[in-house]
Chain A
Amino acid sequence: MIDLNLIIERFPAFLGGTDGAPILSTSDGLQLTLELLGLSLAFGLLLAVPMALMRVSRNKWVARPVWLYTYVFRGTPLLVQLFIIYYGLSQFDWVRDSWAWEYLREAYVCAILAFTLNTAAYTTEILAGQIRNTHYGEIEAAKAMGMGKWLMMRRIVIPSALRRALPAYSNEVVMMMQSTSIAGLVTLADLTGVARRVFSDTYMPFEPFLTVAGIYLVMTFALVWLFKKAEQRWLAYLAPRKH
């Protein structure tokens, strides 16, 4: 029923070890998935920290735009966002005539842009929630030391919130990794894209998709393990007492 030989024969294609035939290159498959994930998470986190601070601001002119942004990007499917960026923007002449088209014409850039905006919205809410949850004792201690607002943010509130955000953020990272599988719908050959390619070459659906499911599972375990290590290191002070 399931052709093990096909799985073994095609497995290298998922890791980029392809002989160039039919169309894949060595940077396709696993490497592309990791690039999409890593870059969008990095840009997303960079965007999310300042936006989380804006989100908890008491000034509504600062807080509301960020609220609207996270509301829109968390309230619509990632696939729709990707299609709007990839197919939608290209319909406007002024987009195609602008300097940005040089980048937006690449499916790679469109995918990273969509993934970044999406993960930034979720991460902003995770961080904003943890900033609001900052224990009043930490704030009072900072004030007692004579710290100003920004110094207190930089030294106390943000590091503390980032630590406490780790468990929720690990979920976001795993979800994001699985979401990168839609990159194949805009011509990219990420892990799922390679599976679809093998499927259309061989007309065998089970083997390539089981293979790719296995690879995603291994990656999920690796990510969960990494975050567990990170929590042991940076969240140890919140762990229940052992003795």
Chain B
Amino acid sequence: MKKAFVLAALAMTASAFTAHADTVRFGIDGNYPPFAKQGADGKLQGFDVDIAYALCAAMKASCEIVPQDWDGLIPALNANKFDAILSSMSITDERKKAVDFTNKYYNTPSRMIAKAGTKVDQAAFKGKKIGALRASTQEKFAKDFWGKSGATIVSYGKAPEGFLDLKSGRIDGMFVDSVVGDADFLKTAQGKGFAFVGPEYSDSKYFGYGAGIAVKKGNKQLTERLNQAIAQIRKDGSYKKVQDKYFSFNVYGN
């Protein structure tokens, strides 16, 4: 038994040293469907996982997926448990102090959900009510954009509460992240007769820069390699294949 442990420990150390050569290890939090969740076989699956494999294919490296809970991701990265975090982590100035980020690999826009066919421009919601999550980026944007032209913003603690009120007609639109709106409402039986209306909103002043891959501070070589891989899978269509498996709209943003 003891020998096996020592061997395993040796093997792990060895893989840590050789990681940059041919294996890239991605840390992913498996509690964020549809981006990552634990499958029936115990392995992680989802958009983030498929993107990881697509990137490895582009980099001609082999992939290792390391499950790690969200709040331990950055500490584990710094402890060399994996080489990069590919876990829907939004690029923020706060996090940039702790890790380096690649370019975004997706940036889901925020969108208005309303009765199908509703007209959406800045003046269209004058005197009407728009729901948003309390203290969310969407709420701040809605306040500045539609609020200035006479709309009332109604704040909710949870998205489903807002969708209930949208369905019953208490509010005229619900302004949310498009993934949340798609998965929690539009794709359910509740969402019948409703649709995304109007354009996609992704003003980085409000919504940040999208989700990027985090690497250890100063690891320029890997950052550059991943950036090239992202550009390549965007070009060769393997990104779109993964996207279409999970979403019915463009998640990369503009």
- Knowing A187-B154, A187-B155, A197-B155 touch, does A22 contact B170 (C-beta < 8 A)? no
Contact A200 B135 (CB under 8 A): yes
Chain A residues 163 to 217 lying within 8 A of chain B, measured CB to CB, are: 185, 187, 189, 196-197, 200-201
Main secondary structure of the interface of A (DSSP, over half): helix
Q: Chain B residues with Cβ under 8 A from A87's Cβ?
A: 164
- Knowing A22-B140, A23-B153, A187-B156 touch, does A105 contact B134 (C-beta < 8 A)? no
A91 and B164 alpha carbons, distance in the complex (Å): 9
Chain A residues 79 to 117 lying within 8 A of chain B, measured CB to CB, are: 87, 90-91, 96, 101, 105-107
**CB of A8 to closest CB in B, whole Å:** 21
Report B126-141 CB contacts with A as 1/0, cut-off 8 Å. 0000000011000110
Chain A residues 119 to 151 lying within 8 A of chain B, measured CB to CB, are: none
B168 CB–A CB distance under 8 Å: yes
- Knowing A22-B139, A23-B139, A187-B154 touch, does A197 contact B168 (C-beta < 8 A)? no
B143 CB–A CB distance under 8 Å: yes
Count: A-B pairs, CB below 8 Å: 40
Report A14-53 CB contacts with B as 1/0, cut-off 8 Å. 0000000111000000000000000000000000000000
A90 and B134 alpha carbons, distance in the complex (Å): 22
- Knowing A197-B134, A201-B135 touch, does A23 contact B170 (C-beta < 8 A)? no
Contact B155 A91 (CB under 8 A): no
Q: Chain B residues with Cβ under 8 A from A185's Cβ?
A: 157
Q: Interface size on A (CB < 8 Å)?
A: 18
B169 CB–A CB distance under 8 Å: yes
A233 and B87 alpha carbons, distance in the complex (Å): 69
B135, B139, B140, B169 — most chain A CB neighbours (10 Å): B135
A96 and B165 alpha carbons, distance in the complex (Å): 12
Chain B residues 145 to 197 lying within 8 A of chain A, measured CB to CB, are: 147, 153-157, 161, 164-165, 168-170
A196 and B134 alpha carbons, distance in the complex (Å): 9
Contact of B170 among A21, A90, A197 (CB under 8 A): A90
Contact A23 B164 (CB under 8 A): no
B140, B157, B170 — most chain A CB neighbours (10 Å): B170
Contact of B143 among A22, A101, A201 (CB under 8 A): A22
Q: Chain A residues with Cβ under 8 A from B140's Cβ?
A: 22
Contact A90 B168 (CB under 8 A): yes
**CB of A143 to closest CB in B, whole Å:** 55
A106 and B152 alpha carbons, distance in the complex (Å): 13
Contact of B168 among A96, A196, A201 (CB under 8 A): A96
Contact A96 B169 (CB under 8 A): yes
A189 and B169 alpha carbons, distance in the complex (Å): 20
A163 and B121 alpha carbons, distance in the complex (Å): 59
Closest B residue to A185 by beta carbon equals B157
Q: Chain B residues with Cβ under 8 A from A107's Cβ?
A: 170
Q: Which residues of B contact A (CB under 8 A)?
A: 134-135, 139-140, 143, 147, 153-157, 161, 164-165, 168-170
16 A-B pairs besides A23-B155, A107-B170, A187-B165 with CB distance below 8 A are A22-B135, A23-B147, A90-B164, A90-B165, A90-B169, A91-B168, A96-B169, A187-B154, A187-B155, A187-B156, A196-B157, A197-B134, A197-B135, A197-B155, A200-B134, A200-B135
Pick 10 A–B contacts, CB within 8 A, sort by A. A22-B143, A23-B143, A23-B153, A23-B155, A90-B168, A105-B170, A106-B170, A196-B157, A197-B135, A200-B134
Give 3 nearest A-B pairs by CB, closest first.
A90-B168, A200-B135, A105-B170
